[in-house]
Amino acid sequence: MKDLGSLHYFLGVEVHHNSYGLFLSQTKYALNLLHRVNMVEAKPITTPYVVGQHLSTKGKLFSDPTLFRSLAGALQYLTITRPDL
């Protein structure tokens, strides 16, 4: 065993030490995810779907299915580890 010092970041969770104890946050993980998809400047909305439109099989396909799967997994991990999202 080797002492690696105090914990700062592990599995996407930031750890901040203060006088009350530990503060756990995934801000860095979420921001890195937004940077991966170039959506840092995107504005939040309550419903990410245009009301009144229906889904269709016609249209442009996603250009990189591997990136899509990776992002879907990252969002799933974020929501599973943060039940308040």
For the segment 25-39, what is each residue's pLDDT rounded down to a tens digit? 888 888 888 898 888
Q: What pTM did the predictor assign?
A: 0.66
Instruction: Identify the three-state secondary structure at position 21.
Output: strand
Rg of the chain in Å (alpha carbons): 18
Q: What is the pLDDT of residues 39-67, one digit of tens each?
A: 888 888 777 667 777 777 777 777 778 88
Beta strands, E only, the chain: 9-10, 13-18, 21-25
Instruction: Identify the three-state secondary structure at position 17.
Output: strand
Angle between helices 27-36 and 65-81 (to 10 degrees): 160
Of 34, 23, 38, 14, nearest to 75 (Cα)? 34
* DSSP summary character for residue 84: T
